[in-house]
Amino acid sequence: MKARVTVFCKEAVFDPQGHTLAVSLRQVGFPGVKGTRVGKVIDIELSSNSVAEAKASVQQMCEKLLANPVIESFSYEIKE
């Protein structure tokens, strides 16, 4: 079973990497870029065969290790 976790800075938190990227994109010929936000994406391969078990496991991983709950928010999807 596979999971894809996506972690972004919370909306209220300034994202310097995203800000810099938006400026760079406008400079290299994309004036239509209004803004960007940069995050992490993590693909996890799990030995579990149950979707419920995988979900519970991934939720715990996010809380324990993958995201910093103070400044980041996460989402995930489970694929079979």
**E strand or H helix at 3:** strand 2-9
Distance between CA atoms of residues 6 and 3, nearest Å: 10
- Please classify residue 58 by burial: count the beta carbons closer than 10 Å to its beta carbon, then call 0-12 exposed, 13-18 middle and 19+ buried: buried
Nearest residue (CB) to a copy of itself, 45 versus 70? 45
- 8 touches a copy of itself by CB under 8 A: yes
Task: Name residues contacting a copy of itself, limited to 41-80 (CB under 8 A).
Answer: 41-48, 57, 60-61, 64-65
| 7 phi, psi to nearest 5 deg | -125, 125
Q: Which of 28, 52, 70, 80 binds a copy of itself (CB under 8 A)?
A: 28
How many residues bind a copy of itself (CB under 8 A)? The answer is 31
Q: Which of 13, 16, 23, 24 binds a copy of itself (CB under 8 A)?
A: 24
Distance between CA atoms of residues 3 and 16, nearest Å: 28
Nearest residue (CB) to a copy of itself, 64 versus 80? 64
